[in-house]
Structure 1
Amino acid sequence: MIKTQTVEGLEVHFCLPTKKTTRPPVLFIHGAFAGGWMWTETFMPFLAKAGYPCYALSLRGHGGSHGREHIDWHSVSDYVDDVKIVVDWLGQAPVLVGHSMGGFLAQKFLEHHETPGVALVCSVPPQGLIASQFHLMFQKPHLFSEINRIMEGDYTDTNTLREALFAGEVDEAMLTLWLTQMQAESHRALWDMSMFNLPNLHAMRRPPMLILGAEHDVLVPAFLVQTTAHTYGLPAHIFRDMGHAVTHEKEWPLVAATLRDWLNDIKP
């Protein structure tokens, strides 16, 4: 069962195993335009059933967290501070699982903090957003334009969401729900991820790391996931026939199972 609590103004969803466990907690970090809600229907119950205490925060200005009225002022450093607030509240260092922007934040978190492990899921690479932005602009200029509309807080339509986030069959009701939950993102944070606050690779801790991507991801293409893997000297697992929203593709259990199997080797 998913429950929700407010921690220093931040919305935190949690789903706990039914039995006592010695396995480390898992903290999920969402991507741009989203919130902690993106984890609650799929990955959290799946991993809680496998014995992992699961938590997902909504960064400031997102979901039910404070700061929506000042969304454009929030920086990557602010978001990393939010992650630290929830980590401190947990009282035990969690494994971080970050999707897209959330993966970038997990990398930034490692500049100053220890964690048992980090999973980067369709993550913005340590080199930043510029390459993916140019790739999208040249490959799908209409989609690039529509995503900029979302960034400004304008609603788009389910066809745009489908093209941007999914490669396989998608339930129309789920798309409609996502459309009501998605929101504007901080311009400042996006600029930080583009060039102004990239991860300091020399300062980062290097815990066990899992790098996952999707074959048909148009927002963080598979070749950039491979770039991330190469940067850290690790392999990348690219899921075939999936798009950016691997948490809700029809075959999402394959991704969750890969994450679970990796977690089983992590020591708290």
Structure 2
Amino acid sequence: MHIEHLTLAPTQRRFSQPLLLLHGAWHGAWAWEQALPDLVAQGFEVHAISLPGHGNSPAPPNHRYATVLNYARVLRNAIADVGGKPIVVGHSSGGYVTQLLITGAVGPRPPLSGAVLLCSSPVAINAYFIDRGMRGVPMVDIRALLRRDPDIVRQAFFRPTMSLAELERHRIRLVAEPPLVSLSSMILRPRPAQNRTPILVIAAERDAIFDLECQQETAAIYGTELVVVPEATHDLMLDPAWPLARDAIARFAAQQMV
């Protein structure tokens, strides 16, 4: 299966491990358009893929029946293609797919130097949303988000100060997920106790999708470090505070080289 796979190489390589960036729901490799050159400037070889039906990756004929298992297979194949024991940076639901792989929930654990869970889906997605609903915590209107309503897209992913032009540039590239992806994500869960891969959890303080408490719980479950980026929103790689996340990724990668 052909998918969009962007690759950028640094002029002077500082890190032995490549980075493999995986977007979240509705997004594509385009979501890393600002982060890609920034990470390359730090000395990383950087790869970013678009899952089938996202970005510039064509949707296969049976895409409407795709599940999270399909996405996990695509990520596994990309890891093999990149080689060199990469560090996977999984954003949002891309972080969930990453968790499934590194915990052996969908087959053998791939050879990785580390995993960065960036504003990631929690271990138990259904429990997270049920708990928020029972506590009356305000949530993004998913139906309006599926319609790509501009106000809801802004509320879900970006800062209130983002210009209308930039918002529209991102909004028109959002795509709906096959329904079985969400359903299968609620059934198939990571196995944190089986994880052997070093993990860094990065949270956005103003995340409207997966809040700070959610990220604190994820870090606690994996017994790992949590970095909180102040004032940042869910699409952290497109947020003005992105450099703080970039620096955290660089520190984490350096630690894995020791």
TM-score over 0.5 (shorter chain)? yes
**Kept in 1: contact 2:204–2:232 (CA 8 A):** yes
| Deviation of the 1:262 alpha carbon | 1.6
Which residue of 227, 232, 239 maps to 1:237?
227
Q: What CA deviation, in whole Å up to 9, does each residue of 1:112-143 have, x standing for no partner?
A: 22310000000011122441365279433662
Stretches of structure 2 that go unaligned for 5 or more consecutive residues are none
Q: Map of 1:1-268 to 2, 5 A cutoff?
A: 8-20=1-13, 23-40=16-33, 42-67=34-59, 70-110=62-102, 111=104, 112=108, 113-132=110-129, 135=132, 138-140=136-138, 143-147=141-145, 150=146, 154-157=147-150, 159-167=151-159, 169-194=161-186, 196-204=187-195, 206-267=196-257
Equivalent AA in structure 1 for residue 190 of structure 2: P
Number of corresponding residues: 252
| Deviation of the 1:21 alpha carbon | 5.3
| Deviation of the 1:200 alpha carbon | 2.2
Equivalent AA in structure 2 for residue 29 of structure 1: L
Q: Are the structure 2 counterparts of residues 177 and 218 from structure 1 closer, same or farther at C-alpha, using a change threshold of 3 Å?
A: same
Rounded to whole Å, the distance in 1 between the matches of 2:64 and 2:190 is 21
Q: What CA deviation, in whole Å up to 9, does each residue of 1:23-50 have, x standing for no partner?
A: 211000100001111012x221111111
- In the other structure, the counterpart of 1:3 is none
- TM-score, normalised on structure 1? 0.86
Rounded to whole Å, the distance in 2 between the matches of 1:31 and 1:62 is 10
Deviation beyond 4 Å, 4+ runs, structure 1: none
Equivalent AA in structure 2 for residue 52 of structure 1: F
Q: Are the structure 2 counterparts of residues 11 and 121 from structure 1 closer, same or farther at C-alpha, using a change threshold of 3 Å?
A: same
| Deviation of the 1:232 alpha carbon | 0.7
Rounded to whole Å, the distance in 2 between the matches of 1:33 and 1:202 is 29
SS in 2 for 1:17: coil
- TM-score, normalised on structure 2? 0.90
Rounded to whole Å, the distance in 1 between the matches of 2:213 and 2:64 is 30
Rounded to whole Å, the distance in 2 between the matches of 1:96 and 1:215 is 22
| Deviation of the 1:172 alpha carbon | 2.1
Rounded to whole Å, the distance in 2 between the matches of 1:116 and 1:255 is 18
Identity of aligned residues (%): 24
RMSD of Structure 2 on Structure 1 (CA): 2.1
| Deviation of the 1:76 alpha carbon | 1.1
